[in-house]
Amino acid sequence: MLITGTISAIFPQVQRWPRISNEGLPGDKKMRTVIYLICFVLMISIAPAAAQKTIMVGGEIDYPPYCFLDKNGRPTGFQVDLTRSIAKVMGMEIEISLSLWAEVRKGLENGTIDIICGMFYSEERAEIYDFSPPYAIVSSVIFARRDAPSVHSIDELRNKEIIVMRGEAMHDFVVKQKITQKLILAETPHDVLKRLADGEGDYALGAQMPGLYWIDKLGLSNITTMGKPLEPFKDCFAVRKGNTLLLSRFSEGLMILQQTGEFQKLHQKWFGVLETPGVSLTKVLKYAAAVFLPLLVLMVAAFIWSWTLRHTVAHRTQELSDSRQQLYTLSDNLPNGYVYQIVADGEQRRFTYISAGVEKLHGISAKDVMADAMLLYGQIVEEDRHLMAEQEALTQESLARFYVEVRYRRPSGEIRWLLITSSPRRLPDQRIAAEGLAIDITDSKRAGEFLQESEKRFRLHFEDAPLPSQSLDANGNIIAVNKAWLKTLGYSIEDVLGQWFGKFLPADHQDIFRERFPRFKKMGEIFGAEFEMVAQDGSVKIVSFDGRIGLNPDGSFRQTYCVFKDLTTLRQTQDALREKEKDYRLLVENLSTGIVVHGSDTGILFSNPMASALLGLTEDQMRGKTAIDPAWSFLREDKTPMPLEEYPVNRVLSSGDPLLGQVLGIRRPDRPEPVWVLCNAYPMIDGAGNLFRVVVAFSDITERKRTEELLRESEERLAFVLEGSQLGYWDWNIETGDVKRNERWAEMLGYTLREIEFNVKQWTDLHHPDDREAAWKSIQDHLEGCTDVHKIEYRMRTKDGQYKWILDCARVVKRDAQGRPLRMSGTHTDITDRRQAEEERERLQAQLNHALKIESVGRLAGGVAHDFNNMLGIIIGHAEMAMEQVDPVQPLYDDLLEIRKAAERSAGLTRQLLAFARRQTVSPRVLDLNETVESMLKMLRRLIGEGIDLAWQPRAGVWQIKMDPTQIDQILANLCINARDAIADMGKITIETQNIVFDEDYCALHVDVVPGEYVLLAVSDDGGGMDKETLEKLFEPFYTTKEMGKGTGLGLATVYGIVKQNNGFINVYSEPGQGTTFKIYLPRYQGKAGQEKEKFQADPVAGGHETILLVEDEPAILKMTTTMLERMGYSVLAANTPGEAIRLAEAHPGEISLLMTDVVMPEMNGRDLAKNLLSFYPHLKRLFMSGYTANVIAHHGVLDEGMNFIQKPFSMKDLAAILRGVLDSK
C-alpha cells in the first residue's frame, strides 16, 4: 500500500511533463533528469548501497538436500538457492561458506559469519540467536540397524547408546529431555549413519531426508528407520542476538519470494511437493502480493535507473539543479513518508531539506524540523534510540548505507513503525551529507505478523484437528494429511505424501474414485461420500467424507480440503446390536422369570412364555388381557386380598418410581393354592419425559415360601433346645439391625437380658478393640458369600471390665431372591479356660524350643572350638617364636605381629562361642559385685566415649555372688558397647545393683525363674530402643542389627550364655524410641563371707629348669609346645599318646616335676592319665590344657577345686606365667 501510494503520486506528474514542456517550461531532457532523481531517492531508500559490506552466510556442509557441496565443490541445495534468491531480490552481496555444523555455530558467535542459512528453532536457542519466520518443517526419525530390537517412540530409547550430530537440534533435545547419558557425538549426518552401520551405538537420531540420502549414497543396506517421525523442527535463518537489521532484510526477502511464487518453485525443485497453504490466508496473501509485487518491480526499475544514472550523472548535474523544484513537489506527495537531506557535523544534525510528508507522519512542519532536527529524534521511542545511534556511528565511520527500523510516537500517542534509509557521502569539509527516505511501514509490519500468525494457527488447527483431514492436488495425489489421518490408518507421513489417493482404496473402489474425482472438482463440495480405505495393517476401514475444493486467485483449481469420519466401529456396533437383539429375544423367550410389558392404560403389550405359565393363560389370551380383569386376583403376603391400587403396574403408574421386591400371590381358577411370586416393576420413560410403558418381572417363589414355613417351625424347635444348653444364642435381622439373644448369651458376660440393648452397635462395642476389625471382617466375608460359615474366636468385655474369649459360630439362614442376606443366626461359647491353657502350652513350648536350639548351637560350638583352638595355638606359638628371632625393625617382624593379632582375635571369637554355649572354662570366686563393677568403671568410660554419660548407682549391702570376675567384665563390656551404639549422639547409660527375692508365687508365673535370693545387675540406656521382632531374636548367635563389619552378633549371645552358666536369668525391657534396660539376676552366694584369694601371682616371663612331661595328640601342637618349653629352659619329655606318656614316665630315671597334658585324647582323657601317673610320682603337679573341656575336668565349664588349667590357644607369655605359678605353688 505504501509503495503503490508512492507510484500513484509520481506517475501522474510524469504524464504531464511533456505538456508542460510545450508551454515553455524545461524540456523533455530535463524531465528525464527529474525522473532519474526521484528513482535515485527511492532506490537508496529500498535497495542496498553499492558499497555495502559483503554478508557472510554459513551453512552445514553435509546436509542434503538442504545444504551440501556439489561434485565440483560448490555450495548447493535448497537453503543455498533460497539464500541466493533472497540476496538477489534485496540487492545484497553475499558469500556462502559451508563447513562442519559446530564450526558454523562457532563462526556465528565470533562474528566471522553474519547469518546461518538453516538452523532449527528452539526456545533454548532463541535465548542466544534471533530467528526469521520458519521456511521449512524438517522431520527427524530414529535410525537403527535392521537386526536391532524394534522401537516405536523416543521414550523407548531411554538409557540406550544413541548417536547424534554434535550441536544439532536432536543433540540438544536428548540432553534436555534426559533420554540417556550414553551419547556418541559425530560431526556430520553421514558420519552418524556410518558409525551406526559399523556397529557403534544402539540407535541414531537425525533429520529424515539427509539420513535417507546418505543411506542410499553410502549403500548402508543394514540401516533402516523405526517408528513414526518425531516432532518436526522449524528451519529458519539465524543471526546473533540483536542483529535484527540483517534478519529483517532476510525476512523481508523471504516474504517477497513467498508472495511471488519463487519460494514454491525452489521448494518444488528440491522436494517435489508444495506446502499446503491455509484457506484462511487467501485474503492476507492477496493483500501481501498487492504490497510487495510493485515493490519488486520498483526495485528492478530502480536498479536499472541507478546503473544508467552512474554513467550520465556527470552530464546531468545542471539539469538536476534546474529540476529540484519539481522533485520537491513530487516528494511532498508521498502518502506515507517523506524525503530528506541532512548534514552531520560531529554531534550536530541539520536538515537541509525535508518534504511536507513529515507533518502528516509526525505532526511537525518541515520548517520547524529544519530549524531543530531534534524535534524528530525526540519522537523515536526511548528503547529504539540506540539503534539510531549505532547506525549513525557506523555511517560516520565507514559511510555505510543507513538502514534502520524504529518505532515513533505520534502526537496522538499512537506508536507506529518507521523505516529510515539514506546513502551517506563525505563533503569536502569532512562533514557527512545524506539523502534519504523515511516511510511508515506499520501496515506492512502488521500484515507480515498477521500472515505468520495465521499460517501458524492454520497449521496447528490442521495438524491437531480431531477428525482425519487430507488435501489432494488436481491429479488426486495426496499433498497433506494430519495426525488423526495417520493414526486412523496407521501409515507414516512418508508412506502417504505424493501418493495417488486411489492407492489407499480397495482395488474395486479405485475406478470409482477415478470416475468421481473430476466430478467433485466441478461440483466444488461433497457430503457423506462413503469409501472403504485400506489401513497399513491391511484392514479395511469404512469412512464418510465431507469436503470442498480450494481455488487459486484466478479461479482455477488449487487443492481439495476434506475430512472423514471412521464409521467402521459404528457399523460393527450396529451389526453387533442386531445380533444382540436376536440373542436377547431368545433369552427373554426362555427365561425362567415371567416378563410382562404393560401400556400406560395397564393393557398387556408383550409377555413371554413363563409369564403365561405362571398366570395360567395362553399367549393369545394374554394379548387382550388387562390387569383389572376380575377373573384373576392378587393376594398380599399375609394372604389377604390385594387392592387394585397395590398391584405392581398401578403402583408404578401412580408413583413413576421402580418397585422392587414385592411379594404377592396369584389366585388362579385352575389351582387350589395361590402361586407366590417375587415381583419387580420398572417404568419406561420416552424422550419427552413421559411414562409410556411398565415392565413387570416376576419369579416363582412358591417353593421358597413353603420352605420358609418349614424353617420357621424348625427355628421354634431350635430355640427350645438352646434354652436348655450352655450355648449363647443370637439372631440378627440384617434388614432392621435388631439382634435377639437368649439368657445364656448375656450370662456369659455377667449381664441380664434387660441390661443389654438389642442392636449391632452395642454388640460390636463389647468386642476387644484389637479383635473388633477381624470379627466384623469375618461376618462381612460370610455375608458376601466368601465363606460357608462365620467362625472366629475373639474377646468380649464382661460387666466387670474383664475380657473373656468367645467362640462365635454362625451362618446366614435367609436370603432374598437376589441372594442378598436377610437374617443370620449363631452361637457363643465361652472358651476362656481353653485359650489360657493353650497360651501356657505355647509359652512352654517356645521356651523348650529355645533351649534345644541353644543346646544344639552349644554342641556345635564345642566341637568346633577344640580343633579350631588347636590350629590357632599353632599359629600363635610359631608366630611368637619367629618374632623372637627377628629384629623388630625388620618388615617381617610387623608381618608376624599381624599374624599373631589375627589369631588372637579369632581365639576371642571362639571364647565368645564357648561362653554362649556355657562351655567356657572359668574359675569362679566369691565376689562383691559393687567392688567388681567399680573397678571397671574407668575402662567402661573409655569404651563408650566422652559424649555419653555413665551413671553408677549401686545399692549398699548387696549380697556376694560366686562367679569368674572376667565374666562380669564380658557382661558389662558387651552391654555398654550395645548401649553406646544405640545412642545417636548424646545420651546416658546407667548401671545399678540391688538385692532381689523371688517367691513361689512369682515363679509360678515365670517358669524360667527358680525361687530364691538374687543380686540384680541392671544396665539401662536412653537410646533408640528395639521393636518386638528384634527382641525375639536378641540372644541368637550371629544375629545383629548393625552394619556389615561393625558387629559379630555374638555380644548378647555371650551375655546370655554367661548368665545361664552361672544359674542366673536375664530380662530385657525395650520399646522403639524409649531406650532399653537389661536386668541380670545372679544367685546369691550362700557360703562363707569374704572373697577368695588368687592362687598365685606368677612372674609372667620367668622360665625354669624342671622336667615336664608333655602329652598332646596333635603332632604340630606337641612339637611347637616342646620348642616353647625348651626355650624357657625346661627339660621336656614329649608324648603323642597317653600310653607313650606312661612308658616315658616309667623309664625316666629322674624326677618329673609337672605333667602338662591335653584333656581330650584317644585311649584315655587327661584326667585319667594324671591318676595313672600319680602312682609313680605322688607329688606330680598337673596342668591341663584344652580348647574345649567337655566336662572332663569341669562341670558346665566350672573347674573342679584344685585344678590348674590353660585355655588353648595360649601365648608363650601366658604359658610361662601359668607354669611358674603351678610349679611354685605349695
**Of 521, 515, 525, which Cα lies nearest the Cα of 556?**
521
**Residue 449: how many other CB atoms lie within 10 Å:** 11
User: Is 648's pLDDT higher than 60?
Assistant: yes
Residue type, position 567, single letter: L
Span 973-999, average pLDDT? 88
Mean pLDDT of the chain: 80
Q: Is 873 exposed, middle or buried (0-12, 13-18, 19+ CB in 10 A)?
A: buried
Q: How far is residue 406's CA from residue 973's CA, in Å, rounded to a whole number?
A: 87
**Max mean pLDDT range (1-5, 737-741, 1010-1014):** 1010-1014
The per-residue pLDDT for 984 is: 80
What does the pLDDT look like over 594-638, one tens digit per residue?
Answer: 888 888 888 888 888 888 888 777 766 666 655 445 666 888 888
Structure-block grid coordinates of residue 1177: 610320682
Superfamily of domain 706-830: PAS domain (3.30.450.20)
Q: How far is residue 584's CA from residue 368's CA, in Å, rounded to a whole number?
A: 95
The per-residue pLDDT for 546 is: 87
Residues 6+ apart with CB under 8 A from 59: 67, 75, 77, 79, 80, 83, 96, 97, 98, 104, 116, 117, 118
The per-residue pLDDT for 1098 is: 38
Residue type, position 131, single letter: F
Residue range(s) occupied by CATH 3.30.565.10 in the chain: 922-1093
Higher pLDDT, 773 or 14: 773
CA 663 to chain centroid, in Å, comes to: 57
Higher pLDDT, 40 or 485: 485
Residues 6+ apart with CB under 8 A from 1023: 979, 981, 982, 983, 984, 987, 1075, 1076
Span 863-892, average pLDDT? 81
Structure-block grid coordinates of residue 954: 549401686
User: Is 23's pLDDT higher than 50?
Assistant: no
Mention the CATH class of domain 140-231: alpha beta
At residue 131's C-alpha, the angle toward residues 88 and 3, to 5°, is 45
Share of the chain above pLDDT 90, in %: 16
Architecture of the domain delimited by 591-698: 2-Layer Sandwich (3.30)
Q: Which CATH number fits domain 336-464: 3.30.450.20, 3.40.1350.10, 3.50.50.60, 3.40.605.10?
A: 3.30.450.20
Span 516-537, average pLDDT? 86
The per-residue pLDDT for 231 is: 75
Q: What's the chain's length in residues?
A: 1226
The per-residue pLDDT for 1110 is: 94
Span 519-523, average pLDDT? 84
User: Is 1135's pLDDT higher than 90?
Assistant: yes
Q: How far is residue 1130's CA from residue 1148's CA, in Å, rounded to a whole number?
A: 15
Range name among 305-319, 396-410, 688-702, 1014-1028 with the lowest pLDDT average: 305-319
The per-residue pLDDT for 1013 is: 92
What does the pLDDT look like over 114-169, one tens digit per residue?
Answer: 999 999 888 888 888 999 888 888 888 999 998 888 888 888 888 889 999 888 88
The per-residue pLDDT for 1206 is: 84
Q: What is the CATH number that goes with domain 1107-1224? A: 3.40.50.2300
Residues 6+ apart with CB under 8 A from 886: 892, 893, 896
Q: Are 388 and 376 in contact (CB under 8 A)?
A: no
User: Is 174's pLDDT higher than 50?
Assistant: yes
Q: How far is residue 196's CA from residue 165's CA, in Å, rounded to a whole number?
A: 12
Span 1198-1224, average pLDDT? 79
CA 1004 to chain centroid, in Å, comes to: 58
Span 32-55, average pLDDT? 44
Structure-block grid coordinates of residue 647: 398391584
Bridge partner residues of 432 (DSSP): 344, 426
Residue range(s) occupied by CATH 3.40.50.2300 in the chain: 1107-1224
The per-residue pLDDT for 905 is: 67
Instruction: Name the DSSP letter for residue 1010.
Output: -
User: Is 20's pLDDT higher than 70?
Assistant: no
User: Is 1's pLDDT higher than 80?
Assistant: no
Range name among 70-74, 90-94, 729-733, 1050-1054 with the lowest pLDDT average: 1050-1054
The per-residue pLDDT for 770 is: 92
Q: How far is residue 484's CA from residue 462's CA, in Å, rounded to a whole number?
A: 10
The three-state (H, E, C) secondary structure of 305-365, written as one string = HHHHHHHHHHHHHHHHHHCHHHHHHHHHCCCCEEEEEEEEECCEEEEEEECCHHHHHHCCC
Q: Which CATH number fits domain 922-1093: 3.30.365.10, 3.30.565.10, 3.40.50.300, 3.40.50.460?
A: 3.30.565.10
Bridge partner residues of 186 (DSSP): 165
The per-residue pLDDT for 908 is: 64
Structure-block grid coordinates of residue 893: 617382624
Residue range(s) occupied by CATH 3.40.190.10 in the chain: 140-231
Q: How far is residue 231's CA from residue 120's CA, in Å, rounded to a whole number?
A: 12
DSSP of 698-759, one letter per residue? EEE-HHHHHHHHHHHHHHHHHHHHHHTSS-EEEEEETTT-BEEE-HHHHHHTT--GGGS--B
What does the pLDDT look like over 558-581, one tens digit per residue?
Answer: 888 898 888 888 888 888 888 887
Q: What is the largest CA-CA distance in the chain?
A: 172
At residue 733's C-alpha, the angle toward residues 727 and 738, to 5°, is 85
Residue type, position 449, single letter: E
Phi first, then psi, for residue 612 (nearest 5°) are -65, -40
Residue range(s) occupied by CATH 3.30.450.20 in the chain: 336-464, 470-572, 591-698, 706-830
The per-residue pLDDT for 715 is: 67
The per-residue pLDDT for 968 is: 87
**Of 136, 104, 123, which Cα lies nearest the Cα of 239?**
104
Superfamily of domain 470-572: PAS domain (3.30.450.20)
Torsion sign, CA atoms 23, 25, 31, 37 = negative
The per-residue pLDDT for 70 is: 85
**Of 1102, 1061, 1001, 1047, which Cα lies nearest the Cα of 1199?**
1061
Structure-block grid coordinates of residue 287: 493483500
Q: How confident is the model at residue 330 (pLDDT cuts 50, 70, 90)?
A: low
Instruction: Name the DSSP letter for residue 1130.
Output: -
User: Is 640's pLDDT higher than 80?
Assistant: yes
The per-residue pLDDT for 917 is: 55
Higher pLDDT, 400 or 51: 400
Sole residue written with cell 434387660: 754
Range name among 75-79, 200-204, 333-337, 675-679 with the lowest pLDDT average: 333-337
What does the pLDDT look like over 268-278, one tens digit per residue?
Answer: 888 764 343 44
User: Is 287's pLDDT higher than 50?
Assistant: no
